[in-house]
Amino acid sequence: MAHMTADGLKERITKIAQVVTASIVIPLAWIEGTLRWLIGSASGVLVLSLSAYFYLRRTSLSRPLMPSQLLAWFAAQRYEIKLGILGALLTVVGFAIAFWTASTTWRRQKELELRIEGHKAILTRFQRALRLLNSLDSYLHVLINALRTLTPQMPEAEKALHIAFSNSQAMEFSKSRQQLYAAMLDVYELHSEYAVIFANVIAVPTDLRKAAAAIEAAQRQLASVVPPTADPHAPQFVQTFLSRCNLQILEAAHAECGRAREVASGIFGRASGVLIHAIVKPNFWALVNITRMGRIVGRITLLGRMRSRGERP
């Protein structure tokens, strides 16, 4: 009963959080973003000024001057007043342009620094996960090949030689599998650490989710693998080892690792490349290389879409 109550409470809290996010947090984010644009950008200030101008002309008793009326008023002023107005106007406009240019350059520089940092984080974390996945896949590849080479006519000593390496690597397989789970936690943290940068760049969050989902699919298959091991000094070493092997599960995990490596390596590379696209602009040779890689890129994109839909390539 207590367990059911805890689950019900957790579900209730989740629903409340979803309602609060949908009804309060998201509208506030839109309001804040709009205000930042209206006050903190030149285009926003222009829109705000024009809106205030036309609103006052329609509603206020003291209507603002039209551009032609303003020019006529300026022309009617004395020479000294004209010089003062023009000097003040040039000072204000010059200061505004200098301030806007400096602040825009600073923000752009910080954004590029964060993009480079996010690019490095994506490469480092996904490469670590893929190295571990490749290590696990190599173990499965060696083990499957060893099992396939065994024949009933083969002497026991020769069979023992074929499976000795896989038997010695069983603990390493379990350790690497555990390390892969830890590496994927670092991958998941990318979304929270660089959420602001990823949200402002097209396709990056989606690509990272697809790449992580591909590795997760391999993890689910690897979780069902029990690495066979036996005492190599025991008389029934070969029989004990083979009795603990399930070739069907091993082959399924091996195939899933291959698919995950192909999908994840291409898609996370695309995401990291998009992040630094604003820094390194493509030139003629980039277009040539992209054309040469067209088939590979197309296959990776297709595999990523099929993976996100839960289909098999």
Residue 217: its pLDDT value, please? 92
Residue at 223 is within a domain: yes
Region 5-33 average pLDDT: 71
Contact 136, 221 (CB under 8 A): no
Shared-domain flag, residues 111 and 59: no
Residue at 50 is within a domain: yes
Residue at 272 is within a domain: yes
- Residue among 216, 214, 215 at smallest CA distance from 302: 214
Residue type, 6: A
Shared-domain flag, residues 149 and 221: yes
Shared-domain flag, residues 161 and 300: yes
Shared-domain flag, residues 220 and 298: yes
Q: How far apart are CA 189 and CA 212, in angstroms?
A: 11
Q: Confidence class of residue 300 from pLDDT cuts 50, 70 and 90? A: low
Indicate left, alpha or beta for 310 from its phi (over 0: left) and psi (-120 to 50: alpha).
Answer: left
Q: Name the DSSP letter for residue 245.
A: -
Burial class (CB in 10 A: 0-12, 13-18, 19+), 111: middle
The per-residue pLDDT for range 104-139, each reduced to its tens digit, is: 888 888 888 989 999 999 999 999 999 999 999 999
Shared-domain flag, residues 181 and 271: yes
Q: How far apart are CA 214 and CA 304, in angstroms?
A: 8
Shared-domain flag, residues 270 and 155: yes
Residue 312: its pLDDT value, please? 46
**Residue 265 structure tokens:** 């390596």
Residue with tokens 């820094």: 279
Residue at 95 is within a domain: no
Residue at 271 is within a domain: yes
Residue at 179 is within a domain: yes
Shared-domain flag, residues 116 and 57: no
Q: How many domains does the chain have?
A: 2
Residue at 89 is within a domain: no
Contact 197, 111 (CB under 8 A): yes
Shared-domain flag, residues 39 and 159: no
Residue at 250 is within a domain: yes
Burial class (CB in 10 A: 0-12, 13-18, 19+), 79: exposed
Domain that holds residue 9: 1-64
Rg of the chain taking only CA atoms, in angstroms: 32
Q: Confidence class of residue 75 from pLDDT cuts 50, 70 and 90? A: confident
- Residue among 245, 215, 240, 211 at smallest CA distance from 228: 245
Residue 1: its pLDDT value, please? 42
Q: Confidence class of residue 10 from pLDDT cuts 50, 70 and 90? A: low
Shared-domain flag, residues 44 and 183: no
Q: Give the pTM.
A: 0.68
Q: How far apart are CA 132 and CA 175, in angstroms?
A: 10
Q: Confidence class of residue 230 from pLDDT cuts 50, 70 and 90? A: very high
Region 195-210 average pLDDT: 86
Shared-domain flag, residues 52 and 182: no
Shared-domain flag, residues 128 and 25: no
Shared-domain flag, residues 118 and 215: yes
